[in-house]
Structure 1
């Protein structure tokens, strides 16, 4: 498990947490990119799975503690955990405790989307019943995303789990909004139609938590789109639009599934778009 990664953005303090690792099929993770190319970037295990991170973001905001994504769902049990090589428990809770932050201290949760590996710790089992993990948190999600999470089809049903929505009251929003000063929610459709990135700005510095639009730095080139994306051509158009914004604005970027240090930035050259890490 990666340790907590703190950094400052102007007057705001941010912490990359870790909810451990998830191992996903390498071919699906890189979509149409052949293994001869992507295997130069990461080494698959004997089952062709590659190691990815789970990196929720904690924000110390003047108004409240904010969590971007809650972590992965481990409630389905041992067989489910073995498929993805998950640890038995959610280490993100221990990392919050290290920072002196209790679950009840979280006042706002910003959901990029509601897949089980991003919103799985919305709820936990307590004496056999589901309870909210963060009982005082206000949850915000795009209206389209909540609709997708509750109107499943054959391509989406494996990604959403009703147990992660049970007992949670969501505020739904539409389009680009600013729920708090310095925090901007930006629709980034493609992986799902309702996915959103979280942009943060303070004292002239800008940062974007990319969600699954760009899960890792390895996948920053425009064609490196996951097979998990329901609308890959929409992903491509969204990337072109946001990449230009993030490069021109000199944004720092946080990558939700980066297995190493999750902070980097985009660069553009004659080779196209690439991501470079700020730390190794």
Structure 2
């Protein structure tokens, strides 16, 4: 866990599970000989990744961005994705003296299982929302797509992470850009999914951006390094061009959801285009 201050905001960069995904899928059209230099693969062609939620304190309010990876899907799921230390998020909240009931707002950047696994938890044989006192902020487009899946996205959306929250009336649907609290905005980042959103914190001249899967790791900063998992890769490219220019101008700190080593970086623009430096 790493703590930083963005003006009046106290920010905790958390670590949840470690897991693995296919390296070719993670880097799309980028040749293996190139991406393996920054992301060595195992014998199954998978690269190491982490789940990196973010916790924000604004006065008496606690805002959790992403809810990490869970164990509900079972052993087969764990083996396929090489998941280790799922649900570590709960221990990190406890280290800060927090229980799930203390969280006031949950931001779901999107509803893929590796980003919202602890939206819910299994208790006494029933799957129920974990953050019972929180509003779960999600783009309306994302919620709609998660409930109307197709062959291309079905494996990423698990009903057990979504439907109990919906049934409990805890989702707060957002359309477009929205202010969570003064200085904290949700911004649409379409491409990976149409309803993906990121988080921008701005206070006292400092800026931090949580990129969601627009930039899953710092190594994915180059414009062409777009995942095969992205449903709309050209939209990802257009979103990156627009947002990168804004974030570079503000010298924003960049927090990605899956970097295996570095919780923070900054965008840079060199002769060969954009790249990110760890901070």
TM-score normalised by structure 1 residue count: 0.96
- Which residues in structure 2 correspond to 1:11-90 (within 5 Å)? 11-87=8-84, 89-90=86-87
**TM-fit CA distance, 1:261:** 2.1
Shift of 1:87: 2.5
Give the superposition deviation at 1:74: 2.1
The whole-number CA distance in structure 1 between the counterparts of 2:38 and 2:68 is 25
Contact 1:74–1:88 under 8 Å retained in 2: no
Q: Deviations over 1:30-52 (max 9, x none)?
A: 00101000001111000000001
Q: Would the aligned equivalents of 1:18 and 1:53 in 2 still touch at CA under 8 Å?
A: yes
- Residues 126-165 of structure 1 aligned to structure 2 (within 5 Å): 126-165=123-162
Work out the CA distance in 1 between the residues paired with 2:39 and 2:113: 24
Spell out, residue by residue over 1:43-97, the C-alpha distance to the aligned partner (whole angstroms, 9 max, x if none): 1000000001100000011241000000123201011001111126411100110
Match of 2:118 in 1: 121
Separation (CA, whole Å) in 1 of partners of 2:151 and 2:245: 34
Contact 1:191 1:230 in 2 (8 A): yes
After the TM superposition, which segments of 4 or more aligned residues of structure 1 sit over 6 Å from their partners? none
CA distance in 1, matches of 2:227, 2:31: 12
Aligned length: 275
Contact 1:123 1:166 in 2 (8 A): no
What is the CA deviation profile of residues 235-271 of structure 1, one whole-angstrom value per residue up to 9, with x for unaligned ones?
0000000000000111111011011121111000111
Q: How far apart in 2 are the matches of 1:201 and 1:251?
A: 9
User: 1:242 corresponds to which residue?
Assistant: 243
Q: What is the Cα deviation at residue 23 of structure 1?
A: 0.3
- Work out whether 1:204 is the aligned partner of 2:205: yes
Q: Distance in 2 between matches of 1:72 and 1:222?
A: 28
1:256 aligns with 2:253: no
What corresponds to 2:193 in structure 1?
Answer: 192
Structure 1 segments unaligned to the other structure (5+ residues): none
TM-score in terms of structure 2 length: 0.97
Query: In the alignment, which residue of structure 2 is the partner of 1:174?
Result: 175
CA RMSD of aligned residues (A): 0.9
SS in 2 for 1:131: strand
Q: Which moves more between the two structures, 204-213 or 175-184? A: 175-184
Q: Return the alpha-carbon distance in structure 1 between the equivalents of residues 132 and 85 of structure 2.
A: 22
Give CA deviations for 1:172-208 in whole Å, capped at 9, x if unaligned.
1111111211110100100000000100011110110
Aligned 8 A contact 1:130 1:166 in 2: no
User: What secondary structure is seen at the aligned counterpart in 2 of 1:144?
Assistant: helix
Q: Unaligned stretches of 5+ in structure 2?
A: none
